[in-house]
Amino acid sequence: MTIEEFTAVISTAARVELDDPQTSFTAQGLDSLGLLNVLVAVEDSYSIEIDPASFADGLPRTPAEMHAYAESAVTTHAE
Protein backbone atom coordinates (compact mmCIF):
# COMPACT_ATOMS: atom_id res chain seq x y z
CA MET A 1 0.00 0.00 0.00
CA THR A 2 1.41 3.39 -0.92
CA ILE A 3 1.76 6.14 1.67
CA GLU A 4 -0.99 8.07 -0.13
CA GLU A 5 -3.40 5.12 0.01
CA PHE A 6 -2.44 4.47 3.61
CA THR A 7 -3.04 8.09 4.60
CA ALA A 8 -6.45 8.04 2.91
CA VAL A 9 -7.46 4.88 4.79
CA ILE A 10 -6.45 6.20 8.18
CA SER A 11 -7.94 9.65 7.48
CA THR A 12 -11.29 8.00 6.83
CA ALA A 13 -11.00 5.85 9.95
CA ALA A 14 -10.03 8.77 12.17
CA ARG A 15 -12.55 11.13 10.56
CA VAL A 16 -9.80 13.73 10.28
CA GLU A 17 -8.05 14.94 7.14
CA LEU A 18 -4.41 13.99 7.51
CA ASP A 19 -2.70 16.27 5.04
CA ASP A 20 0.96 15.59 5.78
CA PRO A 21 2.30 12.10 6.51
CA GLN A 22 5.34 13.67 8.19
CA THR A 23 3.32 15.73 10.71
CA SER A 24 2.36 14.14 14.02
CA PHE A 25 -1.10 12.73 14.51
CA THR A 26 -1.79 15.11 17.39
CA ALA A 27 -0.67 18.17 15.41
CA GLN A 28 -3.17 17.13 12.74
CA GLY A 29 -6.03 17.04 15.25
CA LEU A 30 -6.23 13.42 16.36
CA ASP A 31 -7.23 12.68 19.92
CA SER A 32 -6.93 9.33 21.69
CA LEU A 33 -10.14 7.99 20.16
CA GLY A 34 -8.94 8.99 16.70
CA LEU A 35 -5.65 7.19 17.31
CA LEU A 36 -7.53 4.09 18.40
CA ASN A 37 -9.54 4.23 15.17
CA VAL A 38 -6.27 4.52 13.24
CA LEU A 39 -4.91 1.43 15.00
CA VAL A 40 -8.01 -0.59 14.16
CA ALA A 41 -7.95 0.54 10.52
CA VAL A 42 -4.27 -0.35 10.15
CA GLU A 43 -4.78 -3.73 11.80
CA ASP A 44 -7.72 -4.47 9.50
CA SER A 45 -5.97 -3.24 6.35
CA TYR A 46 -2.76 -5.16 6.99
CA SER A 47 -4.12 -8.14 8.96
CA ILE A 48 -1.69 -7.42 11.78
CA GLU A 49 -1.95 -6.70 15.48
CA ILE A 50 -0.52 -3.51 16.95
CA ASP A 51 0.20 -3.10 20.63
CA PRO A 52 -1.52 0.14 21.71
CA ALA A 53 1.30 0.62 24.21
CA SER A 54 3.50 1.58 21.26
CA PHE A 55 1.69 4.92 21.24
CA ALA A 56 2.37 5.34 24.94
CA ASP A 57 6.07 4.95 24.15
CA GLY A 58 5.78 7.78 21.62
CA LEU A 59 6.00 5.72 18.44
CA PRO A 60 4.71 5.83 15.82
CA ARG A 61 3.99 9.54 15.97
CA THR A 62 3.20 10.29 12.33
CA PRO A 63 1.25 8.64 9.51
CA ALA A 64 4.59 7.98 7.77
CA GLU A 65 5.99 6.23 10.85
CA MET A 66 2.77 4.18 11.19
CA HIS A 67 2.97 3.24 7.51
CA ALA A 68 6.59 2.11 7.91
CA TYR A 69 5.66 0.15 11.03
CA ALA A 70 2.75 -1.61 9.28
CA GLU A 71 4.80 -2.38 6.17
CA SER A 72 7.58 -3.78 8.37
CA ALA A 73 5.14 -5.89 10.39
CA VAL A 74 3.70 -7.39 7.20
CA THR A 75 7.18 -8.17 5.87
CA THR A 76 8.25 -9.73 9.17
CA HIS A 77 5.04 -11.76 9.40
CA ALA A 78 5.48 -13.07 5.84
CA GLU A 79 8.97 -14.40 6.50
pLDDT of residue 3: 93
pLDDT of residue 77: 57
Residues (pLDDT < 70) of the chain are: 55, 58, 76-79
Q: Please tell me the distance from the alpha carbon of residue 6 to that of residue 23, in angstroms, as a whole number.
A: 15
Cβ distance 50 to 42 under 8 Å? yes
pLDDT of residue 6: 92
Which CATH class name applies to 3-77?
Answer: mainly alpha
Element (H, E) at 4: helix 3-14
